[in-house]
Structure 1
Amino acid sequence: MNQIKFVVAGALALLGVLVIGGYYADPAPKATEEKSAAAGGTLRIGVDGTEPAYYKVDGVTKGFDYEMALGVAEGMGAKPEFVVMEFSDLFPALQAGKIDMIGAQVTETAERKQDFDFSAPYFVTYLSFLTPEDSTIKTRDDINGKNVAIVEGTIQERYLEEQYENVNIIKAKDEDSAVKAIQSGEADAFFYDAPYTAPIIHRAPIPLKEAIVYPADDAPIGFVMQKGDERKEQVDSALEQMILDGAWLKIKKEYFKEYPLSEVFKDKGA
């Protein structure tokens, strides 16, 4: 699981805005009834039903990825259909053609790109260190030399190895096990995806705080599609328009107002 920040002063400035890390260097044409493979049809979007990506409050559907997918479908002229399943089932469902696109805070990685196509980014991965409330850990420099728990198999393990010195990695099978490592004194902090820490803090048996939150600009989050799906260009075009007209920033502020703006989007009017 898993993600990014999206003014224009004249025509030349507009051309510059269209480039976000190379993803928008060659913008696709707007979807039309003639050109869009999805126009007038249904776009089936696989989601994992987890806050803040896709969830319900008093019967009303909400979520950052949900609202981004709605905007994309509208830009394509397609009718969105959301299919809720476990995160581990999303990729097999996409391969089997049961869904057309995954929208579930999926981080783009070299391994995943071997088998799937990713849209232009609509977010970046935000990383977080959870600590006891009385912890002396306050900055990223404080992590060096500490025992840090991660959920085995997540991107956090690679980041700890690459970006921090002398960190002892404590591998846990799931979030609750990582919190137990802090409770027992085995770990000083738990390194995890920031958007998903609220429920962990809420159910933790000990008082925890989100001591550090920062964007990983080299870990973009995008919609996932089958290799060669021609609708990817239409998705990218719709995302581009949402960034340029401010719709993306409005959605970001609704769900992640407290998160610092990623460098990926700071010079794009966001």
Structure 2
Amino acid sequence: MPGKIDLAIAAITITNERQQAFLFSLPYLASEAHFVTTKNNSLKSLKKLTHKKTGIIRGSLYKQLITQKFKTNSIKEYPSTDKLITTLNQYEVDVLLMDDFSADYWIAK
């Protein structure tokens, strides 16, 4: 993307593919993935995640994590955290996978 972007400061996961296109500094922040669901959801074990609809941010590496580690293909991708939270509150998905900073913020609201 020559000439389009000079600097990106965001939660961008460093991958081999992205290192081919971009120059990364040392990471300045580390976050973890958190599952978030409603209080009345029956999901009590990650073993049951296979049969649940999982919402993630479009373009995140969480899709790869879910399909490989939890062997599920019931994944719905959304353009923003706001949309993720809305779909969970409207029971369109059973569980969300998001970074811990976003999860903590939305849970506190």
Indicate whether the TM-score tops 0.5.
Answer: yes
1:113 aligns with 2:19: yes
1:196 maps to amino acid: S
Contact 2:81 2:102 in 1 (8 A): no
Gaps of 5+ in 2: none
Among candidates 174, 179, 184, match of residue 80 of structure 2: 174
Structure 1 counterpart of 2:33: 127
Q: How far did 1:110 drift?
A: 1.8
Structure 2 counterpart of 1:185: 91
Structure 2 counterpart of 1:93: 6
Percent identity over the alignment is 23
Contact 1:128 1:192 in 2 (8 A): yes
Among candidates 48, 57, 64, match of residue 151 of structure 1: 57
Q: Higher Cα Rg: structure 1 or 2?
A: 1
Q: How far did 1:122 drift?
A: 6.3
Aligned length: 106
**CA gap 1:121/1:172 in 2 versus in 1, 3 angstroms:** closer
Structure 2 counterpart of 1:194: 100
**CA gap 1:165/1:184 in 2 versus in 1, 3 angstroms:** same
Contact 1:148 1:190 in 2 (8 A): yes
Q: How far did 1:199 drift?
A: 2.0
Structure 2 counterpart of 1:242: none
Q: Note the aligned Cα RMSD (angstroms).
A: 2.4
Contact 1:156 1:191 in 2 (8 A): yes
- Greater strand share, structure number: 1
TM-score of the aligned structures, taking structure 1 as reference length: 0.35
TM-score of the aligned structures, taking structure 2 as reference length: 0.76
Gaps of 5+ in 1: 1-90, 95-101, 204-270
User: Tell me, what secondary structure is at the counterpart of 1:118?
Assistant: coil
Q: How far did 1:103 drift?
A: 5.7
